Amino acid sequence: MILDVVIEDDRWDAAALNKQAEVAVAATLAYLGLLDEDWEVTVLGCDDARIADLNAEFREKPKPTNVLSWPAQELAAAQEGGQPAPPEVDFMGDAALGDIAISYETCMKEAEIAQKPPEDHIRHLLVHGTLHLLGYDHIRDGDATVMETLEVGILGKLGIPDPYIIEDGS
């Protein structure tokens, strides 16, 4: 795995984004049996203003979000709930999976609201982003089930509880 972490917001240094990204991306690739190539992933650690600009430019949603992904290859499953195509090295030997951007403020705010350790939430968002690079999505219900099941499995291997269980306090 070749991981390039670009820090635009210095707060990501204190949150150890480099380490969090290394752990999350490697865990995702390992879980899916994709460690046989030097897959390339770039992670951008930015703030809400930057991710809002990216969200507006690429998704026409001019507001901050937690994580965005830009897959290098179109791998999405044709059938709802199906498995995406496996990534391939291109004819030039390039093994790029794509790029992920993660926003500091939104990530930390979500972790605080959910009363989860920031490291767990950061890793969850990076696993989520990496799955998007690999063709997984959550727009269709069947695809969301597949993606969430993978997230829970990968996070479980990292010792992180299921992020989709809502504690009701009773």
Tell me the fold of 2-157: Collagenase (Catalytic Domain) (3.40.390)
Contact by Cβ (8 Å): 14, 113: no
Q: In what order do the strands lie in the sheet with 67-71?
A: 2-7, 40-46, 96-103, 67-71
Question: Which pLDDT does position 117 carry in this prediction?
Answer: 97
Chain Cα centroid distance, residue 111: 15
* Residue ranges covered by each domain of the chain: 2-157
Residue listed under structure tokens 């269709």: 140
Question: Which pLDDT does position 167 carry in this prediction?
Answer: 63
Question: Which pLDDT does position 142 carry in this prediction?
Answer: 96
The residues pairing with 46 across neighbouring beta strands, listed in sequence order, are: 103
Tens-digit pLDDT string for the chain (170 aa): 999 999 999 999 999 999 999 999 999 999 999 987 889 999 999 999 999 999 999 999 999 999 999 999 999 999 999 999 999 998 888 899 999 999 999 999 999 999 999 999 999 999 999 999 999 999 999 999 999 999 999 999 999 999 998 765 44
Question: In the structure encoding, which two tokens stand for residue 91, read together?
Answer: 């004819």
The Cα–Cα gap between 67 and 102 comes to 4
pTM of the model: 0.95
Question: Which pLDDT does position 106 carry in this prediction?
Answer: 98
Question: Which pLDDT does position 168 carry in this prediction?
Answer: 57
Question: Which pLDDT does position 93 carry in this prediction?
Answer: 83
Q: Residue 90, Cβ neighbours under 10 Å: how many?
A: 11
